[in-house]
Amino acid sequence: MSPRPSRVLLAAGAISAVVACAPLVYLAVRTFDAGLATVLDTLWRQRTAALTVRSLSLAIGVALSCLAIGIPTAWLVARAKLPMRGLWLVLAALPLALPSYVAAFAWVSTFAGFAGFFAAWLVLTSISTPYVVLPVAAVLRRADPALEEVARSLGRSRWRAAAATTLPLTAPAAAAGALLVALYVLSDFGAVSVLRVDVFTRAIFASYRASFDRTGAAVLSLVLVALAFLLVWLEQRTRSRAGSWRVGGGTRREAPLIDLGRWTPLALLWLIVSSAIALGVPAYGLAIRMAEGRRFGIDVPELASATASTVGVAGAGALLATALAIPVGILAARYRTRSTRAIETGAYIGHSLPGVVVGLSLVFLTLTLLPGMYQTVLTLAVAYTVLFMPNAIGSVRTATSQVPPVLEQMARSLGRSPVRAWTDVTARIAWPGVAAGALLVLLTAMKELPATLMLRPTGLDTLATELWTRTEIASYSQAAPFAVALVLLAALPAFLVSRTMGGQASGGHE
């Protein structure tokens, strides 16, 4: 029963979708410019096959180990009666705050020679497990205890009742979380580069930087994007099926906490060990290198200038992303037509795009079409917008849909023009949510590494690129202050996410 959106709003939304899709479209066009033969030739190289096998093995391996570790952890933090319950939930969510390259750097600098496939598996599993823990724990906390009670009244034991009722409820959330982990691993550039694992992202970056093999890098990018799209499609299918599991009606009771009795120490040991691997080792590594660096002295001016430029470029990205997200978010909240859905899908494309692909596409696009824009803050802001606009759209959409449309109609009937009605009523009520979304984009963009490496203006260094440069030349103690600064900045959104965690882990790129 929703009326049609105004043409101005549709046009603004369409512009946002075009900005989001332009880099990928241009990349595809450029790739096939090289001729189908060249593309197929690159595609059939043995190296491409090896990269595909290695990338998928890493993604699937990490996803499976996250499931194996994440589901028991989720059950413990959600349903078990444990001492210091709140602490364990925070510890389980905290690895989200670690950018993958910071964690990898901490491990490398602690254990000499730590590198390769299994090293990357370990590090990526340790920081990605929250993507499974948080949604599964949320489902477990919301699960109606009446289901288990009914199963027990029908003669099942406590464990069999749980296995028959609550466990199946968590399956869609766990599967969606695991697919998100796989997507995150496939897109990850930082950890695999620091730990020297040849997967798509690292190969793309290497062939872009070393030989400037444009076609090679572009073809690999397209294969990677295809895999990412497949994962996102699977994830959304799983999630939409998860929606139909919910049965409404009545107010639900809080599920009672289960006393583990003599198993309590074992449960605590499990949580302590997994937290020690995910958080303890990186914290120890960073602390050691910090202490070491203190002896040589921290380059405070450099740290300050890197922090300032990080905030500056990420701020530009957050402003642009939010500005472009506003029309899309309003359309998504207020109107459900075919064209608004198309706009939303287009604007969300960055959710499936690895940062290295967006970086590469924008390098091509600016060098060819807009040479004046190559390696400018604006182009970098566009990259952040493409990657993180989905977060901003989500915030605008949620904030807008909480304002009933009838309020805007009342303002119109009392003499306000459509724009004034929006600014005087909807915007006034929704702005805190929109601002929180912009802040989230800002904090996420601060940690971005691959696109920043490729697109930053010459001479501009962010915390992430400073850290990167120093890990490349193995000057670990000099890198530590930048890593610590990044962790402190990144902890903020993880804190926000764990506090407002409604059930879905929102994707945070590296």
Partner 1 sequence: MSRLKVASLEAAYDDDVVVRDLDLTVEDGSVAAILGPSGCGKTTLLRCIAGFLKPRAGTITLDDRTLVAAGVVLPPERRGIGVVPQEGALFPHLDVGRNIAFGLPRGQESRRRVDELLDLIGMPGAHGLAPSELSGGMQQRVALARALAPAPGLVLLDEPFSALDAGLRASLRDDVRRLLNLTGTTAVLVTHDQEEALSFADQVAVMRGGRIVQSATPDEIYMRPSDLEVARFVGRLIELPGSARDGRATTSLGVVDLIDASITGDVVVALRPEQIELAADGGGSGVVESMTFFGDDHLIQTRLPDGSSVRSRRSGPPVYRPGDTVSAMIVGPATAFSTT
- In the complex with partner 1, which residue's Cβ is closer, 312 or 418? 418
- In the complex with partner 1, which residue's Cβ is closer, 247 or 406? 406
Give me the phi and psi of 298, to 5 degrees please.
-85, 135
- In the complex with partner 1, which residue's Cβ is closer, 36 or 414? 414
Residue 424 CB, shortest distance to partner 1, in Å, is 8
Residue 506 CB, shortest distance to partner 1, in Å, is 27
Residue 414 CB, shortest distance to partner 1, in Å, is 3
- Cα angle 254, 260, 261 (rounded to 5 degrees) comes to 135
Residue 215 CB, shortest distance to partner 1, in Å, is 47
Residue 439 CB, shortest distance to partner 1, in Å, is 21
Residue 400 CB, shortest distance to partner 1, in Å, is 14
How many angstroms separate the CA atoms of 358 and 187, rounded?
Answer: 11
18 CB-contact burial (10 Å; exposed 0-12 / middle 13-18 / buried 19+): middle
3-state SS, residue 80? strand
Which residues, 6+ apart, have CB-to-CB distance to 451 below 8 Å? Answer: 355, 356, 358, 359, 362, 380, 383, 384, 387
- In the complex with partner 1, which residue's Cβ is closer, 3 or 265? 3
The contact set with partner 1 (CB under 8 A) reads: 1, 3, 404, 406-407, 409-418, 421, 425, 428-429
- In the complex with partner 1, which residue's Cβ is closer, 30 or 412? 412
Residue 339 CB, shortest distance to partner 1, in Å, is 13
Q: Residue 18: CA atoms inside 13 Å, Cβ hemisphere, count? A: 6
- In the complex with partner 1, which residue's Cβ is closer, 158 or 336? 336
Structure tokens at 59: 């993604």
CA distance to 43, 377, 389, 392, 395, per residue, from 437 (Å): 39, 21, 9, 5, 5
3-state SS, residue 304? helix
- In the complex with partner 1, which residue's Cβ is closer, 6 or 236? 6
Query: What is the C-alpha end-to-end distance of the chain, expressed in Å?
Result: 41
- In the complex with partner 1, which residue's Cβ is closer, 153 or 413? 413
Which value, to the nearest 10 degrees, does the dihedral of the CA atoms of residues 30, 36, 39, 40 take? Answer: 160
What string of DSSP letters covers 305-374?
HHHHHHHHHHHHHHHHHHHHHHHHHHHHHH---HHHHHHHHHHGGGGG--HHHHHHHHHHHHHHH-GGGT
DSSP, res 6: P
Residue 402 CB, shortest distance to partner 1, in Å, is 10
Structure tokens at 120: 């990357």
Residue 322 CB, shortest distance to partner 1, in Å, is 21
Structure tokens at 122: 């370990």
- In the complex with partner 1, which residue's Cβ is closer, 72 or 405? 405
